[in-house]
Amino acid sequence: MRIYDELFKDPNDSACARCVIVPSGGGYFEGVRALGELSTEKIVVYFPRQAVEITGTDLAIKKYYEGDLQIGGKVSGVRVLSPETDGGKG
Amino acid sequence: MGAFIKERVYIEGLMPERALLRLRRAGIPLFRVQKTNATTLLVSVRKRDLEKVFAIYPNVCYNDSRSSSFTAKLAPKKGATKWLYVLKNRVGLWLGALLFIGGTAFADGLVCGVDFVGTDVYARETYAALREANIRLFAPYRKGKEDLICAKLLSIDGVEFCSVKKRGMRLVVEIRTAPFGKESAKDGQLYADCDGVILSMTVLRGTALKKIGDRVNAGEPLVGDWFSTEDGGHVRVQAIARVCIACTYVEEIAAATEQEAFAIAYLAVGADSVVLRERRVTATERGFAVRLAYESVQTINF
């Protein structure tokens, strides 16, 4: 939808990384540059400018292709890691 | 087909998550990424992308000059994919198995031989009955003909029990004969059972006491059960003979109708065992006078 295209642009008018989470379900992430940690309780994904930590249970990567990442399992939390405090890869 | 079949690959190395970066840059879709231990990821990729994966992360050995931080190894197949590969690599085995099963199923419907149970004395009659029922050796077996075959075999004198069953590729024919065969031969002479003239005489064993054309009375001996020897002695034998006598029956019968009088007279002379030549029924005051001219056949062991 056009409104999403408008919302998901940064001040420089370039597309932002985005994610869709299903409560107590999985999630879908776009613009993923790299994967960090990978376990059934925690997955760390790196976007161009920040890192995001996804926590939950029975987490698994269902599909990873051209920056699109689909996570299965029960996602209980999503936290953006700041580079200063968490040492995330930018 | 390579787009639908997925292969599982182990990627080993320190921090194996970093290995996914190069795969992503190469445009290889990754499915079901799992971390099996600290240094190993298990990833599913499409079959057609497998070569690219191994080109990026070769499974190097000690004499290979290429170097890589990570190595990729093919995981053992499981599930439907495994059986698909077994089928593909063992085509001859599966074809042979299918041919064997098909051949066995086909051959099971054939009749390759006949086994006799009880007695095989009537083997020739059995094969003739099978031919009539259109059952041939080394040909498909036709069901539903068992009763027909048994009916033909049971019509043979002496056969008391018959059954036809197919077991495997053999036809089992069970025939049981009567426990005591025909009646044992009679001893004694052959006597006339009516007054009349001898029309024909056949003596196979014994001594003829009368000849053709002789007039005999009821109870007279016709054939003796002995032979005369040259020295005048007699040797006892079981006579085998057949004598046909032309007899006459005359009787006045008290009956309501002519037919009833004839029936009574016919039964009196032996009915089915005689050949009627002439009949005359006339009414009288007390009933009917019946005169029957017939031929009576007497036999002994014939």
For residue range A22-46, what is the model confidence (pLDDT) as tens digits?
877 889 998 888 888 899 899 999 8
Closest CA relative to residue B72, chosen from B56, B93, B48, B94: B56
Closest CA relative to residue B44, chosen from B72, B65, B85: B72
Q: Which of A14-18, B5-9, B69-73, B139-143 has the lowest mean pLDDT?
A: A14-18
- Three state DSSP letters for B238-299: CCEEEEEEEEEEEEEECCCCHHHHHHHHHHHHCHHHEEEEEEEEEECCCCEEEEEEEEEEEE
Q: Which domains does chain B have, with CATH numbers?
A: 6-77 (3.30.70), 110-177 (3.10.20.310), 190-300 (no CATH)
Tell if the CB–CB gap between B20 and A64 is shorter than 8 Å.
yes
The b-or-e profile of A72-81 (16+ CB within 10 A means b, else e) is: bbebeeeeeb
Whether B246 and chain A come into contact, CB under 8 Å, resolves to no
Q: Which of B152-156, B173-177, B258-262 has the lowest mean pLDDT?
A: B152-156
Q: Which residues of B touch A35 (CB under 8 A)?
A: 17-18, 20-21, 33
Tell if the CB–CB gap between B30 and A35 is shorter than 8 Å.
no
**Whole-number pLDDT of residue A12:** 58
**Whole-number pLDDT of residue B293:** 92
Q: Above 70 in pLDDT, residue B181? A: no
Considering only residues B238 and A11, tell me which one the structure prediction assigns the higher pLDDT: B238
Model confidence pLDDT, tens digit, residues B41-63: 999 999 899 888 888 887 755 55
Tell if the CB–CB gap between A60 and B27 is shorter than 8 Å.
no
Q: Which residue of B has its CA nearest to A72?
A: B32
Q: What is the mean pLDDT of chain A?
A: 79
B9, B57 in Cβ contact below 8 A? no
**Whole-number pLDDT of residue B63:** 55
Q: If pLDDT is split at 50, 70 and 90, which confidence band does A88 have?
A: very low
Q: What is the mean pLDDT of residues B195-204?
A: 92
Please give the CATH number for the structural domain made up of A2-83.
Answer: 2.60.40.2000
A26, A70 in Cβ contact below 8 A? yes
Q: Which residues of B touch A53 (CB under 8 A)?
A: none
- Nearest by CB to B35, from A38, A62, A66: name it: A38
Q: What is the mean pLDDT of residues B129-150?
A: 87
Domain borders along chain A are: 2-83
Q: What is the mean pLDDT of residues B87-116?
A: 90
Q: What is the mean pLDDT of residues B1-26?
A: 83
- Nearest by CB to B29, from A35, A36, A65: name it: A65
User: Is the confidence metric ipTM above 0.85 for this complex?
Assistant: no
